[in-house]
Amino acid sequence: MAEAQAVLEAPAPAAVEPTGPSGSEAAAILLMLLGDEEAADVLKRLDPTEVQHLGAAMFNVADVTEDQVERVLDLFMTRAKARTTIGFGSAPRIRSVMEQALGQDRAESMLARITPPTDSRALDAMRWMDAPTIAALIENEHPQIAALVLAHLEPPAAADVLQLLAPDLQADVIYRVATLESVTAEALEELEHVLVREVTRSSSRPATARGGAAEAAKIMNNTRAGTDQRIIRTLAKVDKKLAAAIEDEMFVFDNLNELDDKNLGTLLRNIENDVLVVALKGAEEKVREKMLGCMSSRAADSIRDEMEERGPMRLAEVLEAQKEVIAIARRLSDAGTIMLKGRGDDYV
């Protein structure tokens, strides 16, 4: 593995002709030849910029011949000859390596930015900046620019930036994130100019699909308790329907599975049995069993019996009960009684 990493960090071999793969592409070929776990282990040892460059290069090595592999990677010739059918440039393979190296959420975010043709040098550079730097760059720009920036950051980072913006700007930005559908070449070029001190020269880019209520909700889920509801209340004055859509996306019933036993137990003690029975009828089995596991055996058996006795229920009735449970969870979280996952740096 040390030998593989050394090849990644070394300049492109002198034997490669000018028409051959670049240094980054040669390193990408090596990664694609390695097993997923080995490639992931190498990626973990690289800094973010190197991961970005290699990830992008993986998409550029779709037509690599065995001869090119041998010339570029002669230290690894034996392995290359034995594995020439691995499917270079395969998006599922790249996703698999990225997920093992970075985790699913970070891999999704990374792939969203390196998969052709959605990349942007400005956004690429900016996602490695700290929150205060990004906030300082966008605080005096048009809110649409701020929304574009937040929509392309990982949700926790976007939440950090959002909380540094002026309170009267926060709801406007979240509104624009939620209504953002695609990013035009002109918008990306404008962003390039705004961040001229931080990024490379502007270039033509195709539209990128980002934004929406779900994207806005991810950002809101990572703000501190209280900030999210303040923004929702402000947003509701402008667009009540959109505010409700974002709130529905922010926390769903199945997210209760992420609560630890202590927090889940506290929540369950605040829910009426009749509501819980209906809510659990439509829950995934792992969520239902975890919730019942936080109750006494007698109470859990009672809930199971009542669920069986009630028989089939209308979906609308189940969803209404689940919304009531979610509302109770949010209320307890805002009061500091329980801690929901992803609520900034708040602890109980």
| CATH code assigned at 238 | 1.10.220.30
**Residues 201 and 313 occupy one common structural domain:** no
CA distance 170 to 176: 10
- Answer whether residue 32 is part of any domain: yes
Complete DSSP assignment for 189-226: HHHHHHTTTTS--------EE--SHHHHHHHHHTSPTT
- Answer whether residue 342 is part of any domain: no
Position 258 scores a pLDDT of 82
Helices of type H across 73-154: 77-82, 91-102, 104-114, 121-126, 131-138, 143-152
For the stretch 160-217, pLDDT in tens is: 899 999 988 999 999 988 888 666 666 666 666 666 544 433 333 444 445 677 778 7
- Answer whether residue 345 is part of any domain: no
> Which 8-state DSSP code applies to residue 76?
G
Q: How many CB atoms lie within 10 A of CB 41?
A: 16
- The total number of structural domains in the chain stands at 3
Position 270 scores a pLDDT of 94
For the stretch 63-103, pLDDT in tens is: 666 666 666 655 444 444 444 434 344 455 566 666 665 66
**Residues 289 and 314 occupy one common structural domain:** yes
Domain boundary among 249, 267, 300: 249
- Answer whether residue 260 is part of any domain: yes
CA distance 329 to 263: 10
**Residues 91 and 58 occupy one common structural domain:** yes
Which H or E run includes 164?
helix 155-164
Higher pLDDT pick, 30 / 219: 219
Which H or E run includes 69?
helix 66-72
pLDDT interval class at 227 (50, 70, 90): confident
**Residues 244 and 312 occupy one common structural domain:** no
Domain boundary among 215, 232, 249: 249
pLDDT interval class at 301 (50, 70, 90): very high
For the stretch 252-272, pLDDT in tens is: 787 788 888 898 999 999 999
Place of tokens 């819980």: 276
- Answer whether residue 96 is part of any domain: yes
Q: Alpha-carbon dihedral of residues 47, 48, 54, 57, nearest 10 degrees?
A: -150
Complete DSSP assignment for 234-285: HHHHH-HHHHHHHHHHH--GGGGGGS-HHHHHHHHTTS-HHHHHHHHHTS-H
Least confident of 158-172, 210-224, 265-279, 302-316: 210-224
**Residues 233 and 264 occupy one common structural domain:** no
pLDDT interval class at 9 (50, 70, 90): very low
Domain boundary among 65, 92, 116: 116
CA distance 286 to 308: 18
Position 183 scores a pLDDT of 64
Which residues span the domain enclosing 13? 2-116
Tell me the C-alpha to C-alpha distance, in Å, between residue 72 and each of 30, 181, 293.
9, 42, 56
**Residues 104 and 140 occupy one common structural domain:** no
**Residues 101 and 185 occupy one common structural domain:** no
**Helices 240-250 and 213-221: crossing angle, nearest 10°?**
60
